[in-house]
Amino acid sequence: MVKHQIHKKLFILIIVLVIFGLFMVYSASNVVAMYRFNDKAYFLKRQLIFAIVGIALMIIFIHIDIRKIYQATTYIYLVALLLLILVLIPGIGVVRGGARSWIGFGSFSIQPAEFMKLAIILLIAKYLSNNHKDLKKPLEFIKIFVLIISAFGLIMLQPDFGTGLVLVISCILMLFNAGTPIKYFLFLIAIGLIGIIVLIASAPYRLERVLAFLDPWRDPLGSGFQSIQALFAIAPSGLFGLGYNHSMQKHFFLPEPQNDFIFAIICEEFGLIGGVIIIGIFLYIIIETIKISLHIDNKYLKFLSLGIGLSLFTQVAINISVVIGLLPVTGITLPILSYGGSSLVLTLIFFGIILNISQYTEEVK
């Protein structure tokens, strides 16, 4: 394969988004940070460290020989699987918000489920590059289905339904685009509906979230509180918003505003125009990622870039839909913009791989 220049516009836009994300993490979190830690920049400092690490890893992945990633795929998946098992062990896994989803290292921690998203995409891309025609055989489809469900099952034991949902949807979309027979997806839909019913029945808080989605005013101070406060942030903001660092909802109205609901703060401070611009930037990045997939001949790189694009699309679509009230509340970050080291680093590794792959296309960048 002949190398060309990386997608410069995409690289610049990613750096701009990272910088904007740091500003928004500070704006959304400074009130809570001052109250909890007597330091307005507490969350910003931590996010900045992860941003530096993530950008460094992105640059490494831009320049790494893509064949080494291909060769190491199985080992990457096994390490991610091991981390998902370790996080479930008391004393190793750290419990936050009722979920054992982190492994702590001093004052910092990582979320193994985030890195499983990368590992499973790498594994499926490798499998499809060699065997995508075999997916018509039931046994081959079952093999790949077992791999996906194994990862999802371990993530749900934490539990982390949001990350597991992004993982499963991304994988299913990859298999669909690889030409998997429709009849298999009908089977998946049936299994998925049964699984969702079981998951809701097994955890009352999930049922509460569904009921709160249907009618948040049913319990405005409980299960519907977060959704209502997000809409209170968005609705009065108008076209141009209240201005940077002038959010009212971050003053202990919207819980953890720097995390999954940071898009509400963006809309509150920058208005409808700001929200549309952010959605437009994400759409541009996702479309360019898909275009890279369409304009490359190597099957592995084609499926890998497609999988990354679909994963980003799924995560962005679900997060924003939750914030604006189109889906029930679930714990999914907005890539790059939400506070969270594992999510930020993983997303920047994704982009490093995409920019690496972009070197093998002849498209104007």
pLDDT at 92: 82
Backbone angles phi, psi at 109, to 5 degrees: -150, 160
Q: CB burial class (10 A; 0-12, 13-18, 19+) of residue 302?
A: buried
- Count CA atoms within 13 Å of residue 168 on its CB side: 23
Q: Which residue has the higher pLDDT, 224 or 362?
A: 224
For the chain, what are the domain ranges?
8-358
pLDDT at 362: 65
Q: Look up the pTM and report it.
A: 0.92
Per-residue tokens: 200:
């809701």
Per-residue tokens: 317:
């679509």
Distance of CA 348 to the CA centre of its chain: 11
Tell me the pLDDT band of 364, cut-offs 50, 70 and 90: very low
The predicted model gives 101-106 an average pLDDT of 76
Give kind and range of the element (H or E) at residue 84: helix 66-86
Q: Which residue has the higher pLDDT, 304 or 186?
A: 304
Tell me the pLDDT band of 179, cut-offs 50, 70 and 90: confident
Q: Which residues contact 28 (CB under 8 A, 6 or more apart)?
A: 247, 250, 257, 258, 262, 265, 339
Mean pLDDT of the chain: 88
